[in-house]
C-alpha cells in the first residue's frame, strides 16, 4: 500500500469519526433545545423517546438481564447470525438478478413480457410476503437450513431487483461499434456477453450491489420477525421493543448494531468494486 493510499484511508477514517461525533452533538443539542423550550412537535422529547448518547453507549457494557453477558456480546452474536442470512440472501439474489438481466438483454419479447411483473413484485410490502415465504419455503428445506434458509430467501427477494435492472442497463451500455465489430467476426452471443457486455456492465452491477448489500440486511431482519427466530437481530428488536418504555437504550443499541452491519456490507462491496472495476464504462449515445 502506497503512502498516498494510507493518507486517503486515514483521511476517510477521520472523516467518518468526525461525522459520527457531529451526529452525536446534533442529537444532544436537539434534545437540549426541545426539552428546554418544552416543544412537543414532531414528538415529545424525553428519556424514553431520545435517550442520552452516553446512556445508549453505557447500555452496551451492561447485561440486558441478570446473569447474562454484556449487551454488546449478545448483539454481536445475533449480528453474526443475521449476517449469515444476509450473505446467503445477497448471493442468491445477486445471481438471480444477474441471470434475469442477461436473459432480458437477449430477448426483447421476454423483456416486454416479464419486466412489468418484475417491477410490480417490488410494490408488494415485504412484511406481507415474509410470512408466506416462511410457510412455503421452510418445509422444502433440509433440516440444517430450516428457519434461517427461508429468511435468506426473503433477503434475496429484496436483492435481486436492483441487480436485475442495473445488469440490464449495464449490458446495454457496451460500445455499439464494438458490438458491430464482433458481429462482423461472427462472434457468438456467449463470446459477446463475456468479452464485451459483462466488462462494460460491471460499474452498473456494482452500483446495484451497493444498494442490494444493505437491502439484504434489512430483508434478513424483517424475515426473522414472522419466522420466530430469536438468534438474530430481528428477534432482539422484538424482545427489546417490549421493554422500550422502561429500557429504551437497549433497542437503540440494537438499532446501532443493525446499522453498523448494513454499513459493513456496503463497505465490503465498495472494496470489491475497487478491486474489480478499474475504469468507467464507455457510454455512447
Of 63-67, 124-128, 271-275, 276-280, highest mean pLDDT: 271-275
User: Is 282 inside any structural domain?
Assistant: no
Q: What residues make up the domain containing 11?
A: 1-50
Q: Do 202 and 267 lie in a common domain?
A: yes
pLDDT per residue over 245-259, tens digit each? 999 999 999 999 999
- Contacts of 5 by beta carbon, 8 Å cutoff, 6+ apart: none
User: Is 281 inside any structural domain?
Assistant: no
pLDDT per residue over 84-105, tens digit each? 999 999 999 999 999 999 999 9
d(CA 119, CA 106) in angstroms, rounded, equals 19
Residue 121 belongs to domain with CATH number: 1.10.3720.10
Mean of pLDDT over the chain: 91
Q: Do 123 and 229 lie in a common domain?
A: yes
Q: How confident is the model at residue 280 (pLDDT cuts 50, 70, 90)?
A: very low
What radius of gyration do the chain's Cα atoms show?
23
pTM comes to: 0.90
Number of domains the chain contains: 2
Q: Are 232 and 80 in contact (CB under 8 A)?
A: no
Q: Do 175 and 201 lie in a common domain?
A: yes
Q: Do 202 and 122 lie in a common domain?
A: yes
Q: Which cell numbers in the block locate residue 214?
A: 444493505
User: Is 285 inside any structural domain?
Assistant: no
pLDDT per residue over 116-175, tens digit each? 999 999 888 888 888 888 889 988 888 888 889 999 999 999 999 999 999 999 999 998
Q: Do 39 and 65 lie in a common domain?
A: no
Q: Do 216 and 112 lie in a common domain?
A: yes
User: Is 169 inside any structural domain?
Assistant: yes
Q: Are 110 and 187 in contact (CB under 8 A)?
A: no
CA distances from 122 to 47, 50, 168, 202, 285 (A): 37, 33, 17, 23, 30
Q: Do 5 and 82 lie in a common domain?
A: no
User: Is 160 inside any structural domain?
Assistant: yes
Residue 216 has pLDDT above 90, yes or no: yes
Q: Do 99 and 168 lie in a common domain?
A: yes
CA distances from 172 to 67, 201, 211 (A): 59, 8, 20
Q: Do 173 and 220 lie in a common domain?
A: yes
pLDDT for residue 285: 37
Q: Do 159 and 22 lie in a common domain?
A: no
Q: Do 40 and 169 lie in a common domain?
A: no
Q: Do 44 and 62 lie in a common domain?
A: no
Give start and end residues of each alpha helix (H) in 185-284: 189-192, 198-227, 233-241, 248-276
User: Is 237 inside any structural domain?
Assistant: yes
Amino acid at each position: 500500500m502506497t503512502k498516498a493510499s494510507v493518507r486517503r484511508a486515514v483521511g476517510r477514517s477521520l472523516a467518518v469519526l468526525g461525522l459520527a461525533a457531529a451526529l452525536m452533538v446534533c442529537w444532544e443539542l436537539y434534545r437540549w433545545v426541545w426539552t428546554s423550550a418544552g416543544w412537543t412537535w414532531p414528538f415529545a422529547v424525553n428519556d424514553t423517546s431520545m435517550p442520552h448518547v452516553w446512556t445508549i453507549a453505557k447500555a452496551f457494557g451492561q447485561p440486558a438481564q441478570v446473569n447474562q453477558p454484556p449487551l454488546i456480546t449478545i448483539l454481536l452474536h445475533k449480528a453474526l447470525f443475521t449476517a449469515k442470512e444476509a450473505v446467503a440472501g445477497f448471493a442468491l439474489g445477486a445471481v438471480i438478478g444477474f441471470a434475469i438481466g442477461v436473459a432480458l438483454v437477449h430477448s426483447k419479447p421476454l423483456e416486454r413480457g416479464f419486466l412489468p411483473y418484475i417491477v410490480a413484485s417490488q410494490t408488494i410490502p415485504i412484511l406481507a410476503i415474509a410470512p408466506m415465504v416462511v410457510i412455503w419455503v421452510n418445509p422444502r428445506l433440509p433440516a440444517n437450513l430450516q428457519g434461517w434458509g427461508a429468511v435468506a430467501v426473503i433477503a434475496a427477494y429484496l436483492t435481486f431487483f436492483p441487480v436485475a435492472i442495473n445488469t440490464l442497463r449495464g449490458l446495454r451500455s457496451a460500445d455499439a461499434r464494438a458490438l458491430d465489430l464482433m458481429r462482423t467476426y461472427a462472434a457468438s452471443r456467449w463470446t459477446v456477453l463475456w468479452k464485451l457486455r459483462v466488462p462494460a456492465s460491471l460499474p452498473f452491477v456494482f452500483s446495484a450491489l451497493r444498494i442490494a448489500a444493505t437491502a439484504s440486511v434489512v430483508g434478513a431482519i424483517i424475515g426473522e420477525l414472522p419466522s420466530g427466530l430469536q438468534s438474530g437481530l430481528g428477534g432482539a428488536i422484538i424482545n427489546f421493543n417490549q421493554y422500550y418504555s422502561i429500557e429504551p437504550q437497549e433497542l437503540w443499541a440494537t438499532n446501532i448494531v443493525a446499522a453498523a452491519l448494513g454499513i459493513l456490507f456496503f463497505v465490503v462491496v465498495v472494496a470489491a468494486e475497487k478491486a474489480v472495476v478499474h475504469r468507467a464504462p464507455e457510454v455512447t449515445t
